[in-house]
Structure 1
Amino acid sequence: MNEYLEIKYKPGGEVHTYTTELVHREPGFVLVRFRMARGGGPPDIPVAVTPGSISLGYFWARRPFNLYRWRSPAGDVIAHRFDAVTDVSIEPQRVEYRDLVLDWWVLPGDILLEEDRDDFERLAASGALSPKDIQAARAADRIIHARYRHLIDEAARIELRHLRPA
Protein backbone atom coordinates (compact mmCIF):
# COMPACT_ATOMS: atom_id res chain seq x y z
CA MET A 1 0.00 0.00 0.00
CA ASN A 2 1.21 3.49 -0.89
CA GLU A 3 0.20 5.23 2.38
CA TYR A 4 -1.03 8.81 2.10
CA LEU A 5 -2.58 10.99 4.80
CA GLU A 6 -5.74 13.07 4.53
CA ILE A 7 -5.79 15.77 7.22
CA LYS A 8 -9.00 17.74 7.78
CA TYR A 9 -9.10 20.85 9.99
CA LYS A 10 -12.58 21.60 11.38
CA PRO A 11 -13.71 25.18 12.17
CA GLY A 12 -13.60 24.58 15.94
CA GLY A 13 -9.95 23.47 15.82
CA GLU A 14 -10.57 19.73 15.77
CA VAL A 15 -8.24 17.78 13.45
CA HIS A 16 -9.19 14.52 11.72
CA THR A 17 -6.44 12.40 10.17
CA TYR A 18 -7.21 9.48 7.84
CA THR A 19 -4.72 6.99 6.48
CA THR A 20 -5.52 6.45 2.82
CA GLU A 21 -3.81 4.98 -0.25
CA LEU A 22 -2.37 7.27 -2.89
CA VAL A 23 -3.91 6.49 -6.28
CA HIS A 24 -2.62 9.45 -8.30
CA ARG A 25 -0.98 12.81 -7.61
CA GLU A 26 -0.08 15.62 -9.99
CA PRO A 27 0.41 19.36 -9.49
CA GLY A 28 -2.80 20.74 -7.99
CA PHE A 29 -4.66 17.41 -7.73
CA VAL A 30 -4.60 14.17 -5.76
CA LEU A 31 -6.81 11.06 -5.82
CA VAL A 32 -6.81 8.77 -2.77
CA ARG A 33 -8.57 5.55 -1.77
CA PHE A 34 -9.95 4.89 1.72
CA ARG A 35 -11.12 1.40 2.63
CA MET A 36 -14.27 1.39 4.78
CA ALA A 37 -13.75 -1.84 6.68
CA ARG A 38 -16.71 -1.29 9.05
CA GLY A 39 -19.30 -0.07 6.58
CA GLY A 40 -22.26 1.83 8.02
CA GLY A 41 -23.15 5.14 6.46
CA PRO A 42 -23.96 8.72 7.36
CA PRO A 43 -26.62 8.96 10.09
CA ASP A 44 -29.06 11.31 8.31
CA ILE A 45 -28.54 10.23 4.70
CA PRO A 46 -30.20 7.14 3.20
CA VAL A 47 -26.95 5.46 2.09
CA ALA A 48 -26.08 1.88 3.04
CA VAL A 49 -22.34 1.24 3.07
CA THR A 50 -21.39 -2.42 3.30
CA PRO A 51 -18.11 -3.46 4.94
CA GLY A 52 -15.33 -3.51 2.37
CA SER A 53 -16.64 -0.51 0.43
CA ILE A 54 -14.19 2.16 -0.67
CA SER A 55 -14.25 5.93 -0.79
CA LEU A 56 -12.27 7.63 -3.51
CA GLY A 57 -11.24 11.14 -2.48
CA TYR A 58 -10.68 13.79 -5.16
CA PHE A 59 -8.83 16.92 -3.97
CA TRP A 60 -8.01 20.00 -6.06
CA ALA A 61 -5.75 22.77 -4.78
CA ARG A 62 -7.73 25.52 -6.51
CA ARG A 63 -11.34 24.40 -6.09
CA PRO A 64 -13.56 25.31 -3.11
CA PHE A 65 -14.74 21.70 -2.75
CA ASN A 66 -13.55 18.13 -2.70
CA LEU A 67 -15.41 15.03 -3.81
CA TYR A 68 -15.79 11.54 -2.38
CA ARG A 69 -17.03 8.80 -4.69
CA TRP A 70 -18.23 5.82 -2.65
CA ARG A 71 -18.17 2.34 -4.19
CA SER A 72 -19.45 -1.02 -2.94
CA PRO A 73 -17.09 -4.01 -2.67
CA ALA A 74 -18.44 -5.09 -6.10
CA GLY A 75 -17.46 -1.70 -7.57
CA ASP A 76 -20.95 -0.20 -7.88
CA VAL A 77 -21.26 3.53 -7.14
CA ILE A 78 -23.13 4.00 -3.84
CA ALA A 79 -23.16 7.81 -3.62
CA HIS A 80 -21.09 10.96 -4.05
CA ARG A 81 -20.34 13.59 -1.42
CA PHE A 82 -18.99 17.07 -2.03
CA ASP A 83 -17.51 19.08 0.85
CA ALA A 84 -16.90 22.85 0.87
CA VAL A 85 -13.20 23.31 1.66
CA THR A 86 -10.42 25.88 1.57
CA ASP A 87 -6.65 26.06 1.98
CA VAL A 88 -6.07 22.73 0.22
CA SER A 89 -2.39 21.78 0.36
CA ILE A 90 -1.24 18.77 -1.66
CA GLU A 91 2.10 17.41 -0.52
CA PRO A 92 4.06 14.26 -1.46
CA GLN A 93 2.80 12.33 1.62
CA ARG A 94 -0.44 14.13 2.54
CA VAL A 95 -3.30 16.40 1.60
CA GLU A 96 -4.44 18.97 4.14
CA TYR A 97 -7.47 21.24 4.01
CA ARG A 98 -9.88 23.23 6.12
CA ASP A 99 -13.45 21.97 6.18
CA LEU A 100 -16.10 24.68 5.69
CA VAL A 101 -19.00 22.65 7.13
CA LEU A 102 -21.32 22.53 4.08
CA ASP A 103 -21.68 19.12 2.39
CA TRP A 104 -23.79 17.86 -0.51
CA TRP A 105 -24.72 14.26 -1.27
CA VAL A 106 -25.66 12.98 -4.70
CA LEU A 107 -27.61 9.75 -4.37
CA PRO A 108 -28.64 7.33 -7.11
CA GLY A 109 -31.33 8.87 -9.28
CA ASP A 110 -29.55 12.27 -9.22
CA ILE A 111 -30.98 13.21 -5.83
CA LEU A 112 -29.00 16.16 -4.44
CA LEU A 113 -29.14 16.57 -0.64
CA GLU A 114 -27.51 19.33 1.36
CA GLU A 115 -26.09 18.84 4.86
CA ASP A 116 -25.20 21.22 7.66
CA ARG A 117 -26.56 24.51 6.24
CA ASP A 118 -27.78 25.55 9.69
CA ASP A 119 -24.36 24.86 11.24
CA PHE A 120 -22.65 26.81 8.46
CA GLU A 121 -24.96 29.82 8.87
CA ARG A 122 -24.53 29.75 12.66
CA LEU A 123 -20.71 29.65 12.38
CA ALA A 124 -20.76 32.40 9.74
CA ALA A 125 -22.97 34.64 11.91
CA SER A 126 -20.83 34.05 15.00
CA GLY A 127 -17.60 35.04 13.26
CA ALA A 128 -16.12 31.54 13.55
CA LEU A 129 -15.72 31.56 9.75
CA SER A 130 -13.78 34.35 8.08
CA PRO A 131 -15.22 36.37 5.19
CA LYS A 132 -12.82 34.41 2.92
CA ASP A 133 -14.20 31.11 4.28
CA ILE A 134 -17.79 32.23 3.75
CA GLN A 135 -17.00 33.35 0.20
CA ALA A 136 -15.34 29.98 -0.60
CA ALA A 137 -18.27 27.98 0.85
CA ARG A 138 -20.80 30.06 -1.09
CA ALA A 139 -18.76 29.56 -4.29
CA ALA A 140 -18.77 25.80 -3.67
CA ASP A 141 -22.53 25.94 -3.12
CA ARG A 142 -23.09 27.66 -6.47
CA ILE A 143 -20.76 25.29 -8.34
CA ILE A 144 -22.21 22.11 -6.83
CA HIS A 145 -25.80 23.12 -7.53
CA ALA A 146 -25.01 24.19 -11.09
CA ARG A 147 -22.49 21.51 -12.11
CA TYR A 148 -22.61 18.46 -9.85
CA ARG A 149 -23.42 16.10 -12.74
CA HIS A 150 -20.50 17.44 -14.81
CA LEU A 151 -18.17 17.10 -11.82
CA ILE A 152 -19.25 13.50 -11.21
CA ASP A 153 -18.65 12.71 -14.88
CA GLU A 154 -15.21 14.33 -14.63
CA ALA A 155 -14.41 12.15 -11.59
CA ALA A 156 -15.47 9.02 -13.49
CA ARG A 157 -13.08 9.92 -16.33
CA ILE A 158 -10.24 10.54 -13.85
CA GLU A 159 -10.98 7.20 -12.21
CA LEU A 160 -10.83 5.36 -15.54
CA ARG A 161 -7.40 6.86 -16.26
CA HIS A 162 -5.80 6.36 -12.87
CA LEU A 163 -7.46 3.73 -10.75
CA ARG A 164 -5.83 0.35 -10.57
CA PRO A 165 -7.89 -2.58 -9.29
CA ALA A 166 -8.09 -2.59 -5.48
Structure 2
Amino acid sequence: MTTMMTLTMMITTLRLSIPPDKKHVLEIKETLSGERLKFCCDVVDRGQNWLVVLYIVPEEVVLDSVKIPRGTLSFGYFWEDRPYNAYHFVGSQGQTLALYCNVSDSTCIREDKIYWRDLMVDVLVFPDGTGRVLDINELPESLSVILADSILDTATTLIATRYSLLTELETKTADYL
Protein backbone atom coordinates (compact mmCIF):
# COMPACT_ATOMS: atom_id res chain seq x y z
CA MET A 1 0.00 0.00 0.00
CA THR A 2 1.39 3.39 -0.92
CA THR A 3 1.94 6.14 1.60
CA MET A 4 -0.65 8.35 -0.13
CA MET A 5 -3.26 5.55 0.00
CA THR A 6 -2.54 4.99 3.69
CA LEU A 7 -2.83 8.72 4.39
CA THR A 8 -6.09 8.92 2.43
CA MET A 9 -7.49 5.97 4.40
CA MET A 10 -6.45 7.62 7.71
CA ILE A 11 -8.11 10.90 6.76
CA THR A 12 -11.27 9.08 5.63
CA THR A 13 -11.37 7.01 8.84
CA LEU A 14 -10.78 10.12 10.94
CA ARG A 15 -13.53 12.02 9.17
CA LEU A 16 -15.90 9.08 9.72
CA SER A 17 -15.05 9.02 13.44
CA ILE A 18 -15.87 12.71 13.88
CA PRO A 19 -19.61 13.11 14.58
CA PRO A 20 -21.66 14.23 11.55
CA ASP A 21 -22.61 17.43 13.39
CA LYS A 22 -18.93 18.33 13.68
CA LYS A 23 -18.05 21.93 13.67
CA HIS A 24 -15.37 23.99 12.13
CA VAL A 25 -13.51 26.64 14.05
CA LEU A 26 -11.40 29.51 12.91
CA GLU A 27 -8.03 29.44 14.64
CA ILE A 28 -6.73 32.98 15.04
CA LYS A 29 -3.08 33.29 15.99
CA GLU A 30 -1.81 36.74 16.88
CA THR A 31 1.93 37.42 17.01
CA LEU A 32 3.66 39.79 19.41
CA SER A 33 3.86 42.31 16.55
CA GLY A 34 0.06 42.19 16.13
CA GLU A 35 -0.03 40.19 12.88
CA ARG A 36 -2.97 37.78 12.72
CA LEU A 37 -2.92 34.44 10.93
CA LYS A 38 -6.12 32.44 10.42
CA PHE A 39 -6.65 28.73 9.82
CA CYS A 40 -9.91 26.85 9.28
CA CYS A 41 -9.85 23.65 11.36
CA ASP A 42 -12.19 20.77 12.11
CA VAL A 43 -13.20 20.29 15.73
CA VAL A 44 -12.16 16.82 16.85
CA ASP A 45 -13.01 17.06 20.54
CA ARG A 46 -13.77 19.72 23.12
CA GLY A 47 -14.28 20.21 26.81
CA GLN A 48 -15.09 23.08 29.12
CA ASN A 49 -11.74 24.87 28.71
CA TRP A 50 -9.93 22.87 26.04
CA LEU A 51 -10.23 22.07 22.35
CA VAL A 52 -8.66 19.62 19.91
CA VAL A 53 -8.69 20.56 16.24
CA LEU A 54 -7.51 18.93 13.06
CA TYR A 55 -5.67 20.76 10.32
CA ILE A 56 -4.27 18.99 7.27
CA VAL A 57 -0.93 20.52 6.31
CA PRO A 58 -1.41 21.87 2.74
CA GLU A 59 2.27 22.12 1.77
CA GLU A 60 5.50 20.60 3.02
CA VAL A 61 7.07 22.58 5.85
CA VAL A 62 10.29 22.19 7.79
CA LEU A 63 10.21 22.76 11.55
CA ASP A 64 13.81 23.25 12.56
CA SER A 65 15.19 19.94 11.24
CA VAL A 66 11.90 18.01 10.93
CA LYS A 67 10.28 17.69 7.51
CA ILE A 68 6.48 17.77 7.71
CA PRO A 69 5.10 16.47 4.38
CA ARG A 70 2.05 17.83 2.59
CA GLY A 71 -1.04 16.03 3.86
CA THR A 72 0.29 15.48 7.38
CA LEU A 73 -2.39 15.44 10.06
CA SER A 74 -1.85 18.20 12.61
CA PHE A 75 -3.81 17.82 15.82
CA GLY A 76 -3.89 21.14 17.64
CA TYR A 77 -4.36 21.00 21.40
CA PHE A 78 -5.50 24.22 23.07
CA TRP A 79 -6.17 24.90 26.73
CA GLU A 80 -7.36 28.10 28.33
CA ASP A 81 -5.52 27.23 31.55
CA ARG A 82 -2.11 26.27 30.14
CA PRO A 83 0.52 28.80 28.99
CA TYR A 84 1.12 26.92 25.73
CA ASN A 85 -0.61 25.02 22.97
CA ALA A 86 0.69 22.01 21.10
CA TYR A 87 0.53 20.66 17.57
CA HIS A 88 0.97 16.92 17.25
CA PHE A 89 2.11 16.16 13.69
CA VAL A 90 1.18 12.61 12.71
CA GLY A 91 2.68 10.76 9.74
CA SER A 92 0.94 8.58 7.18
CA GLN A 93 1.38 5.45 9.30
CA GLY A 94 0.05 7.12 12.46
CA GLN A 95 3.52 7.82 13.86
CA THR A 96 4.60 11.00 15.60
CA LEU A 97 6.66 13.25 13.34
CA ALA A 98 6.98 16.02 15.92
CA LEU A 99 5.28 17.76 18.79
CA TYR A 100 5.50 21.52 18.39
CA CYS A 101 4.62 23.58 21.46
CA ASN A 102 4.01 27.31 21.24
CA VAL A 103 4.48 29.36 24.38
CA SER A 104 1.30 31.40 24.38
CA ASP A 105 -1.18 33.42 26.36
CA SER A 106 -4.66 34.89 25.98
CA THR A 107 -6.10 31.60 24.72
CA CYS A 108 -9.83 32.04 24.33
CA ILE A 109 -11.99 29.17 23.08
CA ARG A 110 -15.44 29.92 21.68
CA GLU A 111 -17.96 27.82 19.77
CA ASP A 112 -16.75 28.91 16.34
CA LYS A 113 -13.24 30.25 16.94
CA ILE A 114 -10.14 29.97 19.02
CA TYR A 115 -7.89 32.91 19.65
CA TRP A 116 -4.37 32.75 21.06
CA ARG A 117 -1.32 34.96 21.21
CA ASP A 118 1.97 33.46 20.08
CA LEU A 119 4.80 34.55 22.39
CA MET A 120 7.52 33.61 19.84
CA VAL A 121 9.34 30.93 21.80
CA ASP A 122 8.58 27.34 20.82
CA VAL A 123 9.62 23.92 22.02
CA LEU A 124 10.08 21.18 19.44
CA VAL A 125 9.82 17.63 20.77
CA PHE A 126 11.12 14.82 18.58
CA PRO A 127 9.52 11.34 18.45
CA ASP A 128 12.19 9.96 20.81
CA GLY A 129 11.32 12.58 23.43
CA THR A 130 14.35 14.79 22.97
CA GLY A 131 13.52 18.45 22.71
CA ARG A 132 14.83 21.81 21.68
CA VAL A 133 13.84 25.39 22.55
CA LEU A 134 13.44 27.52 19.42
CA ASP A 135 13.43 31.26 18.72
CA ILE A 136 14.47 32.32 22.21
CA ASN A 137 16.99 34.76 20.73
CA GLU A 138 14.24 36.49 18.75
CA LEU A 139 12.41 37.92 21.75
CA PRO A 140 12.19 41.69 21.40
CA GLU A 141 14.29 43.71 23.82
CA SER A 142 11.26 45.90 24.47
CA LEU A 143 9.40 42.97 26.06
CA SER A 144 8.45 43.54 29.68
CA VAL A 145 10.55 41.68 32.25
CA ILE A 146 7.43 40.01 33.64
CA LEU A 147 6.37 38.66 30.23
CA ALA A 148 9.93 37.62 29.34
CA ASP A 149 10.25 35.72 32.64
CA SER A 150 6.90 34.03 32.06
CA ILE A 151 7.96 32.93 28.56
CA LEU A 152 11.25 31.52 29.83
CA ASP A 153 9.52 29.74 32.73
CA THR A 154 7.05 28.10 30.35
CA ALA A 155 9.79 27.01 27.93
CA THR A 156 11.77 25.55 30.85
CA THR A 157 8.69 23.68 32.10
CA LEU A 158 7.95 22.34 28.61
CA ILE A 159 11.49 20.99 28.29
CA ALA A 160 11.30 19.43 31.77
CA THR A 161 7.92 17.78 31.09
CA ARG A 162 8.34 16.95 27.39
CA TYR A 163 8.29 13.16 27.85
CA SER A 164 5.03 13.17 29.79
CA LEU A 165 3.44 15.72 27.44
CA LEU A 166 4.46 13.66 24.40
CA THR A 167 2.99 10.52 25.99
CA GLU A 168 -0.21 12.37 26.96
CA LEU A 169 -0.80 13.73 23.47
CA GLU A 170 0.20 10.55 21.63
CA THR A 171 -2.34 8.67 23.75
CA LYS A 172 -5.06 11.24 23.08
CA THR A 173 -4.29 11.44 19.36
CA ALA A 174 -4.47 7.63 19.06
CA ASP A 175 -8.09 7.87 20.21
CA TYR A 176 -8.84 10.12 17.22
CA LEU A 177 -7.20 7.98 14.53
What's the TM-score once normalised by structure 1's chain length?
0.86
Deviation of the 1:89 alpha carbon: 0.3
Which consecutive unaligned segments of at least 5 residues does structure 2 have?
1-21
User: Quick one: structure 1 residues 82 and 131, their matched pair in 2 at CA, closer, same or farther if it must change by over 3 Å?
Assistant: same
Q: Distance in 2 between matches of 1:58 and 1:145?
A: 17
Match of 1:17 in 2: 38
Deviation of the 1:66 alpha carbon: 0.7
Q: Distance in 1 between matches of 2:153 and 2:111?
A: 28
Deviation of the 1:15 alpha carbon: 0.4
1:40 maps to a residue whose letter is V
Match of 2:133 in 1: 114
Match of 1:86 in 2: 105
The yes-or-no answer on 1:149 pairing with 2:168 is no
Q: Distance in 2 between matches of 1:26 and 1:109?
A: 29
Contact residue 125 and residue 166 of structure 2 kept, 8 A: no
What's the TM-score once normalised by structure 2's chain length?
0.81
Q: Aligned to 1:48, what secondary structure does the other structure show?
A: strand
The yes-or-no answer on 1:134 pairing with 2:134 is no
1:105 equivalent among 114, 124, 127:
124
Q: Distance in 2 between matches of 1:59 and 1:96?
A: 10
Q: Distance in 2 between matches of 1:12 and 1:142?
A: 23
Deviation of the 1:153 alpha carbon: 1.3
How many percent identity over aligned positions? 23
The yes-or-no answer on 1:52 pairing with 2:71 is yes
1:20-35 to structure 2, matched below 5 A, reads: 20-35=41-56
What is the aligned residue count? 156
Match of 2:85 in 1: 66
User: Between Structure 1 and Structure 2, whose CA radius of gyration is higher?
Assistant: 2
Contact residue 133 and residue 155 of structure 2 kept, 8 A: no
